[in-house]
Every structure is written in C-alpha cells, then in structure tokens.
Amino acid sequence: MVAQLLALLPRSRLQVRNSAADWVFLTRFCFLTEFGRLDFRFRYPKSRCCQNILLYFDDSSQWPAVYKKPEKSCDQKEAVLRPENNQVINLTTRYTWSGCVVEDDGNEEVLSCVGGRSFRSVRERWWYIALSKCGGEGLQLEYEMKLTNGQSFWTQHFSADEFGILETDITFLVIFSLVFLLSCYFAYNLKGRQLLHTTYKMFMTAAGVEVLSLLFHCVYWGLYARDGVGNFSLKILGKLLFSVSFLVFLLMLILLGKGFTVTRARISHSGSVKLSIYMTVYTITYVILFIYEAEFFDPGEVLYVYESPAGYGLMALQLVAYVWFCYAVLVSLKHYPEKQPFYVPFFTTYTLWFFAVPVMALIANFAIPRWAREKIVNGIQLGIHLYAHIVFLVITRPSAANKNFPYHVRTSQIGILLSSPKGGEGGEKFPHHAYGNSSFLGDSQPNFTELFSIQSVSLHVMFSHGTPQGALQHNQSFTHSHTHSHAGGDALRCSHSCPGAH
C-alpha cells in the first residue's frame, strides 16, 4: 500500500516494483486535452524480459473493465487496449519508441528504457498506468515517471483535477485572514465594553485555526507546484486543522442555540455531558475517516473522502447536530422571545450551513465528474466555511445599528448571577433584555448606559464582601434598569448622591 501511495504523490520519484503477479497498477494522472506529457525511465534485468507499460484511460471499456476484475486474465486485460493509439509500451530493444538499450550492470545485463508520451484527448481524462508480463514469473521494475500538464508553474505538476486548488487556497487564505483580523478588532471593542464572551472567543479560535489550515495547504501545494512531490505531512496537518476549525465552530453554534452567553451563563450538567459525548463521537468519527482514507482508499480508483462508512457517519452526525440545534433555538426563543432579532436570522442562515455539507457530499459523490471533482469540491467546501464565518461576523458586529447583536449581559456581571442565592435554581439565566447594541452609541453622544454599568460593577466590587443580601439583590435589579430607560440622567445623578441609591 505504501508503494502505491508513493507512486501517486511523486510524478518524479524513483520507485522499485517487485511482484509475483503478472499485472499490477502503478499510478494515475488526469491529463489536459492537449498538453499532457509522460516522461519515463524504466530499468529491469534482461532476464525478466519482456515487460510492458500499459496506458488505460477512464472510458468504461478500458480501466473500469479491467481493474478489480480477478476473473480476467492478464492477456484479457491487455486486449482492451488499442496499440494503434500507442497505449502499450513494450520495454524491449525491438520496440523503437520505448527507447530501450541493453546496459551492463556488473553481474547481469539490464534493459534501460528512457522516453516519453504525449497525450491527446477530447476532454480532460484520467489515465491509469499499469505494468504487465503475461505468462511470466513475476514482475521486477525500477522506474521513474514525470507526469506533467504544460510548463506553467500553476499547471505543470498538477493533475487536471487539481487545477486551481493552489490559487483558490491562496484567495481564501487572504479572505479568512481579513475575517480573523476583523474579528480581533471587534473583540477589542467588545472587551472594552465587557461583552467579549466565550462564544465569540470560540468563533475567533475557529477562524484562526482555519487560517493556519489554509496556510499549511498553500505551503504544501506551493512545494508541490515546484517539484511535483511536496511534503505530504503538511497536507495532513492542514486537513487536521480544517477539521478542528469545523468542530469548534459546530460546538459554538450548538452552544449559542442553547442560549449560552446569550440567555444563560452556563449549560446545565446534563447538557454539558450530552455535548461532551456528542463532540467526542464526532471527533472519533473524523479520526476514523482519516485512517480509512489513508489505509483503505484504493489509489486505482478516484474516490471522494465521503465515499466511505465514516464519511456517511459524519453526514448523519451533521443532521443529528441540526436537529439538536433546532430544538435548542426553539427552547431559547420560548423563554426569551425578545431575542428574535438575533435568533431568527441566526437560525435561518445556519440552517443552510447545516445542510450544505451533506448536500455537497452527495453532489460530489454522484453528480460531479471525477476528473473535475477535487478542485470543485475544494472551492465549494471553502466557500461554505467562509459563508458561516462572515455571517457570524456580521450578526455579532459591535455597532449601534446592529439590531441582531446577541449579548446584553457583561462578562463582569456573570459572576454576580452565578454567585446569587438562586444560582442553583436557574440563577444562571440572564435577565430579560432585547439587545446589547445600546452599548454602542455614537461618539457624539454621552454613553450614559456604559457609565451606569460601570457604576453597577463598582458597587459589586465595593460591597460584595460586606453588603447584606437584600442590598446585593437591589444592586442587581438596579443594574438592568437601563433596559427600560436609556436617558436616565436624573437616575444616574441619584445613584451618586441619593442615600436611597445605596
């Protein structure tokens, strides 16, 4: 399996093939219609003569007709090829176009064949390269192949189904970097108003990890464009980070649906246990998917990552997450109907996101041509992730004009709610308030609500160790009086001068 995988990465690495079989698969490549080129160097002992290089294309009468067909003999697998199309390279000195010569290699003579082939077809096609020696005592071959599409940096070493991936990844890296930087700027503003909650930090984490994922992918594809080999570990690391970003974002959506940091300060114990179990199962399924792709995907077939039991399991878990998300949002709206300006667009936009991943997987599996699948799926997948991040960035932007802003309780007030005598009886629930966007007033207006909240926090700090319970409860209710009156200048002055205020 390792030798076969290396043969798919390489395009130019030296490989050695030993097999007791008389027909084996070497590698595959998707060539352009006019500029496909195979340059090769084959070398094997003359005593093992005569071996053939077979070039199949993806027509149903060719590669699908012979691969994984144990009932067909070696001769039958060769018979589907058309010699007039130069699909058979006979590695002997009798076949001029093979470029074979006999060389002395110490104790034995070897056949060394150096040559090439150009590929012409009506459309981009997958070509499959196999080695055969029908009726012989097995195969032995040292080979080096360079498969290219033109001479451009952006196409030369890329299979046609990979065209545009590097450019797409670079574009999305720039866009996601801007999204992440903008989220950092918004976070700075939110922190200044004590509204930088855990869920927003999770969003920033997901965006930052997405940037790292794209960076590793860009480095991998950049190295690959240079030498046709690249560093496969960079690609694996990029995929892992992409999965981490997805899982963090998914967890954030479920938490927001349940009202965490929007209508409540914490999730119940049973809810936390369920979330932990679900995310653990999701993570394990992702790990299984990676292992399945590495160990069981057949390099002789063009497969998509979701064409596996683990892939279908991920789609099922995505639908389970959506059902949970729907239920959580409905419960939150039932208890906090004033939060409709946030939850209605939140639910609508992310319903599309939840269904986009499974729909994309099904379309990729059954509708997209295999010679174009990888580049199309890559662009769609990144577009879906970008959509999710931009929507969240917009609905949580700290602006007075943003009527969808979800947060209204400050981070410094959460401790008061959790430490109140009602903490064990639903004290984790936030007081009712439509939005928190009233905190973002223009610079031309005095922000009395901001001053009022600071005063409330200072009261808590000053008297939290010595104020009677009734006074603390009075302070909590007084903190949120601005939800009904934002122009309370007299109330503000009274909080500093009237004895009843304390």
pLDDT in tens, 264-288: 878 888 889 999 999 999 999 888 8
* CATH number (domain holding residue 339): 1.20.1070
Mind listing the pLDDT tens digit for each residue in 329-353? 999 999 888 888 889 999 999 999 9
pLDDT at 33: 75
Amino acid at 315: M
**Residue 361 φ/ψ, nearest 5 degrees:** -65, -45
| Whole-Å CA distances, 293 to 288, 309, 390, 457 | 8, 11, 31, 54
Give the domain extent around 243: 164-395
**Percentage of the residues of the chain whose pLDDT score is greater than 90:** 42
Residues 107 and 228 both lie in one domain: no
Same domain for 325 and 183, yes or no, is yes
Which pTM was predicted? 0.77
Residue 105 has pLDDT above 50, yes or no: yes
Q: Is residue 418 part of a domain?
A: no
Domain count of the chain? 2
Whether residues 135 and 207 fall in one domain: no
- The share of the chain scoring above pLDDT 70, in percent, equals 77
Domain check: are 125 and 184 in the same one?
no
| Separate counts of helices (H) and strands (E) for the chain | 14, 9
Sign of the CA dihedral 156, 158, 163, 165? Answer: negative
Q: Which of 109, 125, 149 is the last residue of a domain?
A: 149
Q: Which two tokens stand for residue 24?
A: 């084996």
Nearest to 307 by CA among 244, 352, 353, 363: 363
**Residue at 456 is within a domain:** no
pLDDT band at 358 (very low <50, low <70, confident <90, very high): confident
Measured CA to CA, the distance from residue 264 to residue 48 in angstroms comes to 75
Distance CA 19, CA 13 (A): 19
Confidence category of residue 16, pLDDT binned at 50, 70, 90: low
